[in-house]
Amino acid sequence: DDDDDDDARPDVIKVGYALTAKKASRMLSDALVARCSARGVEFYPLDPAIDIDAQRGHPFDVILQKVPGSDGVKADWDERLRQYATAQPLARIVGLPDLVKRVTNRGTMLDVVHSLGVENVSAPRQVVLTPRDDAESISQIISDAGLKPPYLAKALICDGSEHSHSVAIIHDQGGIEALRQGRVSGIELPCVLQEYVNHGGCLFKVYVVGESVTSATRRSLPDLVVHSSSSSSNHDYGDEGAVVVPRVSRFTQSASDDDEDEDGGGDGDGNEQQHVPPPDDAVLRDIGLRLHAKLGLDLFNFDLIRDRENPSALFIVDINYLPGISKMPGYFDHFTNFLASAGGLTKRAARAV
């Protein structure tokens, strides 16, 4: 059949993919697959439980992979990827497990931001709280880091598992204690406690696909009044001093919840979103390419906010590996060009050997 012919054609760029069914259906729509096929790019599903070189399509020019940490074969799959990278050094693996690990742990995710060297771009202060920390030590950890309420509590590991993108707004000491005692739904210790930066209710979601950088403005969490039980949007935070935000867009009542990006960011233009001018495209491209170089990742996005109190200050608050990129502006063109370019480089390098 045609697929068997593809295996025999030396000019076909073969892309293996190990993705959840949900992510594969969103990333690799029929229209996208047809567009790629016209450029000589063909896709082959990979079973994470089987050695890669034993699967149809081998040798691959590009491998796309994001196997959730909750999948029982995750550790074995990561080792299979490492072995394949050693045996097939010219294959473009998106992305190598040891590189992905840096951004799926929020304790290390934003470390790279501090060495970017871009003026006025930083990361919010944060600490990691563990089950071993008692109330007194948590208070000391927070004090030593200079954090003041309100805070954002986030799951430490964001590897596609349940609650990876759950967020809770912690307003006071009562919220901290609820967090420590496991009474904040969706957030368990260990977790990250991050300073809350008021940002006008919107964020800039910046997508990096190879050397291509694009952005979109998204609705985000509202500005909060420090030491107040109510926010600018009059949400009721209850008696615990904490409110769970499973997804930002649900919190802000976006009309697009059912189509939510898998990286957990908000979507749409809500009534509570204020006009916050986006950074210049050149600035976003500079940040994106610097992150691309330092992280060694080809497919990711990052969430950028502008400080409401100091508009020249920009904060990178999250980095997401292989996110739900099907909503990025110009997705078809950017993704197709990346695969054709990456696969073409692999083939040219192979011919030169």
Nearest to 317 by CA among 229, 195, 235, 214: 195
Whole-Å CA distances, 242 to 135, 171, 200:
16, 6, 20
Q: Is 310 annotated for ligand binding?
A: no
Q: Is 347 annotated for ligand binding?
A: no
Q: Is 194 annotated for ligand binding?
A: yes
Q: Is 122 annotated for ligand binding?
A: no
Q: Is 330 annotated for ligand binding?
A: no
Q: Is 191 annotated for ligand binding?
A: no
Burial of 132 (0-12, 13-18, 19+ CB in 10 A): exposed
Nearest to 321 by CA among 99, 77, 134: 99
User: d(Cα 227, Cα 285) in Å, to the nearest integer?
Assistant: 37
Q: Is 249 annotated for ligand binding?
A: no
Through-space distance between the first and last CA atoms of the chain, rounded to whole angstroms: 31
Q: Is 66 annotated for ligand binding?
A: yes
Q: Is 165 annotated for ligand binding?
A: yes
Q: Is 197 annotated for ligand binding?
A: yes
Print burial letters for 305-335: b (CB count within 10 Å at least 16), e (below 16): bbbeeeeeebbbbbbbbbbbbbbbeebeebb
Q: Is 181 annotated for ligand binding?
A: no
Q: Is 257 annotated for ligand binding?
A: no
Q: Is 318 annotated for ligand binding?
A: yes
Cβ proximity of 122 and 315 under 8 Å: yes
Nearest to 176 by CA among 158, 152, 145, 144: 152
Structure tokens at 68: 């959730």
Nearest to 16 by CA among 63, 53, 82: 63
Q: Is 154 annotated for ligand binding?
A: yes
Length of the chain measured in residues: 353
Amino acid 22 reads K
Cβ proximity of 276 and 283 under 8 Å: no
Q: Is 106 annotated for ligand binding?
A: yes
Q: Is 203 annotated for ligand binding?
A: yes
Q: Is 120 annotated for ligand binding?
A: no
Q: Is 201 annotated for ligand binding?
A: yes
Q: Is 327 annotated for ligand binding?
A: no
Cβ proximity of 276 and 199 under 8 Å: yes
Whole-Å CA distances, 76 to 57, 116, 124, 292:
20, 33, 35, 27
Q: Which residues are annotated as a binding site for ATP?
A: 106, 154, 194-205, 220
Q: Which residues are annotated as a binding site for 1D-myo-inositol 1,3,4-trisphosphate?
A: 23, 66, 165, 205, 320, 324
Q: Which residues are annotated as a binding site?
A: 23, 66, 106, 154, 165, 194-205, 220, 303, 318, 320, 324
Q: Which residues are annotated as a binding site for Mg(2+)?
A: 303, 318, 320
